[in-house]
Amino acid sequence: MSEMILPLVRAEESRPTSYLDEGHTVLSWLLTTDHKRIAILYALSITVFFFMGGIVIGLVRLELISPTGWFMTSDEYNRAFTIHGIIMVWFFLVPSIPATIGNFVLPMMIGAPDVAFPRLNLLSWYLYVIGASFTVYVLLSGGVDTGWTFYPPFSSSYSNSSVVPAAVGVFVVGFSSIATGVNFMATIHLLRAPGMTWFRLPLFGWSMYVVSMVMVLATPVLAMSLLLICAERLFGLPIFDASVGGDPVLFQHLFWFYSHPAVYIMILPAMGVVSEVFACFARRRVFGYAFMVYALLMIGVVGFMVWGHHMFVAGQSPLANLIFSFLSFIVAVPSAIKVFNWTATLYRGQIGFEAPMLYALGFLGLFTTGGLTGLFLASVPIDIATTDSYFVVAHFHTIMVGGTVSAFMAGIHYWWPKVTGRRYHEFAAQLAAITMFLGFNLTFVPQFIMGWLGMPRRYHIYPDVFQIWHVLSSGGAAMLAVAYLLPLAYLGWSLFNGDQAGDNPWQATGLEWQTPSPPPKQNFLHPPRITNAPYQYHEMGRAREEGEETPVAEQGDVR
Amino acid sequence: MSDLSRALQAPWPDLRLQREAVGLGMWFFLASEVLFFAALFCSYAVYRSFNEEAFRIAASHTKIVYGSINTALLLTSSLTMTVALRAAAAQLKRMTLFCLGATAALGAAFLVTKGLEYRADIEEHLIPGPNFPLKPAATAMFWGLYWIMTGIHAIHLTAGIGVVIVVLTLFWRETIPVQGSTMEGVAIYWHFVDTVWIFLFPLIYLAGRS
CB B51 within 8 A of CB B141: yes
Candidate from A182, A225, A239 with C-beta closest to B28: A182
Return d(Cα A228, Cα A255) in angstroms, integer. Answer: 11
Mean pLDDT along residues A444-468: 96
The pLDDT tens digits for A1-56 are: 344 444 444 444 456 889 999 889 999 999 999 999 999 999 999 999 999 999 99
The pLDDT tens digits for A282-303 are: 999 999 999 999 999 999 999 9
Contact B11 A115 (CB under 8 A): yes
> Looking at the 3D structure of chain A, how many domains does it have?
1
- pLDDT band at B70; cut points 50, 70, 90: very high
| pTM for this prediction | 0.93
| Helices within B136-181 (DSSP H only) | 139-172
Q: DSSP letter for A245, please.
A: T
- In this structure, is residue A58 part of a structural domain? yes
Q: Which residues of B13-43 are buried (b: 16+ CB within 10 A; e: fewer)?
A: eebebbbbbbbbbbbbbbbbbebbbbbbbbb
Candidate from A33, A186, A221 with C-beta closest to B39: A221
CATH superfamily placement of domain B12-206: Cytochrome c oxidase, subunit III, four-helix bundle (1.20.120.80)
Candidate from B11, B28, B32 with C-beta closest to A219: B32
Cross-strand bridge partners of residue A520:
A18
- pLDDT band at A553; cut points 50, 70, 90: low
Q: DSSP letter for A286, please.
A: P
Return d(Cα A463, Cα A481) in angstroms, integer. Answer: 27
The predicted pLDDT at position A559 comes to: 39
CB A551 within 8 A of CB A503: yes
CB A129 within 8 A of CB A224: no
Answer yes or no: is pLDDT of B11 > 90: no
A–B CB contacts, 8 A cutoff, strictly below = 113
* B108 shares contact with chain A (CB less than 8 Å): no
- Nearest-neighbour CA in chain A from B140: distance (Å): 7
Number of helices and strands in chain A (H, E): 18, 0
- Nearest-neighbour CA in chain B from A338: distance (Å): 28
Return d(Cα B55, Cα B207) in angstroms, integer. Answer: 7
Crossing angle of helices B139-172/B182-201, nearest 10°? 160
Crossing angle of helices A74-86/A118-140, nearest 10°? 180
Return d(Cα A259, Cα A149) in angstroms, integer. Answer: 9
Contact A186 B148 (CB under 8 A): no
Contact A238 B141 (CB under 8 A): yes
Length of chain B: 210
- A216: phi then psi, degrees, rounded to nearest 5: -65, -35
Residues of A within 8 A of B37 (CB-CB) are 224
HSE at residue A108, side-chain half, CA atoms within 13 A, is 30
Q: DSSP letter for A153, please.
A: T
Residues of A within 8 A of B32 (CB-CB) are 178, 181-182, 216-217, 219-220
Contact B40 A113 (CB under 8 A): no
The pLDDT tens digits for B72-125 are: 999 999 999 999 999 999 999 999 999 999 999 999 999 999 999 999 999 999
The pLDDT tens digits for A363-416 are: 999 999 999 999 999 999 999 999 999 999 999 999 999 999 999 999 999 999
Cross-strand bridge partners of residue A500:
A422
* B182 shares contact with chain A (CB less than 8 Å): no
- In this structure, is residue A73 part of a structural domain? yes
Return d(Cα B88, Cα B4) in angstroms, integer. Answer: 13
Residues of A within 8 A of B128 (CB-CB) are 236-238, 244
The pLDDT tens digits for A493-531 are: 999 999 999 899 999 999 999 999 899 999 999 889 998
Return d(Cα A516, Cα A16) in angstroms, integer. Answer: 9
The predicted pLDDT at position A542 comes to: 61
Measured from the Cβ of residue A322, the count of other Cβ atoms closer than 10 Å reads 13
The pLDDT tens digits for A149-205 are: 999 999 988 888 899 999 999 999 999 999 999 999 999 999 999 999 999 999 999
Residues of B within 8 A of A254 (CB-CB) are 39, 42-43
Residues of B within 8 A of A216 (CB-CB) are 28-29, 31-32
Task: Tell whether the torsion through CA atoms of B28, A39, A438 and A446 is positive or negative.
Answer: negative
The predicted pLDDT at position A116 comes to: 95
Q: Among candidates B158, B2, B14, B19, which has minimal Cα distance to B88?
A: B19
* B36 shares contact with chain A (CB less than 8 Å): yes
Three-state secondary structure readout of A132-147: HHHHHHHHHCCCCCCC
Q: Is the ipTM of this complex over 0.90?
A: yes
Those residues whose C-beta lies under 8 Å from the C-beta of residue A29, and which sit 6 or more positions away, are: A23, A37, A40, A41
Contact A224 B40 (CB under 8 A): yes
Contact B28 A181 (CB under 8 A): yes
- pLDDT band at A485; cut points 50, 70, 90: very high
- Nearest-neighbour CA in chain A from B32: distance (Å): 5
CATH number of the CATH domain containing A324: 1.20.210.10
Q: Among candidates B142, B188, B205, B197, which has minimal Cα distance to B29?
A: B188
Average pLDDT, chain A: 92
- pLDDT band at B3; cut points 50, 70, 90: low
- Give yes or no for a cis peptide into A518 (omega within 30° of 0): yes
Domain holding A422, by residue range, is 34-541
Residues of A within 8 A of B50 (CB-CB) are 245, 247
Contact B137 A191 (CB under 8 A): no
Candidate from B31, B140, B152 with C-beta closest to A238: B140
Q: Among candidates A176, A197, A205, which has minimal Cα distance to A95?
A: A176
- In this structure, is residue A27 part of a structural domain? no
**What residues does each domain of chain B span?**
12-206
Measured from the Cβ of residue A526, the count of other Cβ atoms closer than 10 Å reads 13
HSE at residue B109, side-chain half, CA atoms within 13 A, is 17
Return d(Cα A58, Cα A49) in angstroms, integer. Answer: 14
- In this structure, is residue A554 part of a structural domain? no
* B155 shares contact with chain A (CB less than 8 Å): no
The predicted pLDDT at position B178 comes to: 87
- In this structure, is residue A1 part of a structural domain? no
The predicted pLDDT at position A12 comes to: 45
- Nearest-neighbour CA in chain B from A493: distance (Å): 34
The pLDDT tens digits for B172-188 are: 998 888 888 889 899 99
Crossing angle of helices A163-190/A74-86, nearest 10°? 10
**Highest mean predicted confidence (pLDDT) among A19-23, A130-134, A450-454:** A450-454
Interface residue ranges in chain A relative to chain B, Cβ cutoff 8 Å: 33, 112-118, 120, 178, 181-183, 185-186, 189-191, 216-221, 223-225, 227-228, 231-232, 235-239, 243-247, 250, 254, 257
The predicted pLDDT at position A5 comes to: 44
The pLDDT tens digits for A50-104 are: 999 999 999 999 999 999 999 999 999 999 999 999 999 999 999 999 999 999 9
The overall longest dimension of chain A from CA atoms, in Å, is: 76
Contact A237 B28 (CB under 8 A): no
CB A501 within 8 A of CB A417: yes
- Nearest-neighbour CA in chain A from B81: distance (Å): 24
Residues of B within 8 A of A232 (CB-CB) are 144
Q: List Cα–Cα distances, A478 to A3, A55, A282, in angstroms.
A: 46, 11, 32
CB B171 within 8 A of CB B100: yes
pLDDT above 70: percentage of residues in chain A: 94
Residue B89, class by beta-carbon neighbours within 10 Å (0-12 exposed, 13-18 middle, 19+ buried)? middle
Return d(Cα A60, Cα A176) in angstroms, integer. Answer: 29
For chain B, first and last CA: distance in Å?
A: 59
Q: DSSP letter for A511, please.
A: G
| Helices within A12-73 (DSSP H only) | 26-30, 35-63
Q: For residue A520, give the 3-state DSSP assignment.
A: strand
Contact B29 A178 (CB under 8 A): yes
Q: List Cα–Cα distances, A442 to A67, A350, A371, A398, in angstroms.
A: 19, 30, 18, 12
- In this structure, is residue A11 part of a structural domain? no
Return d(Cα A286, Cα A138) in angstroms, integer. Answer: 45
Contact B29 A190 (CB under 8 A): no
- Kindly identify which residue of chain B lies nearest to residue A216, measuring between CA atoms: B32
The predicted pLDDT at position B92 comes to: 93
Residues of A within 8 A of B51 (CB-CB) are 245
- In this structure, is residue A536 part of a structural domain? yes
HSE at residue A469, side-chain half, CA atoms within 13 A, is 20
Residues of B within 8 A of A103 (CB-CB) are none
Answer yes or no: is pLDDT of B205 > 50: yes
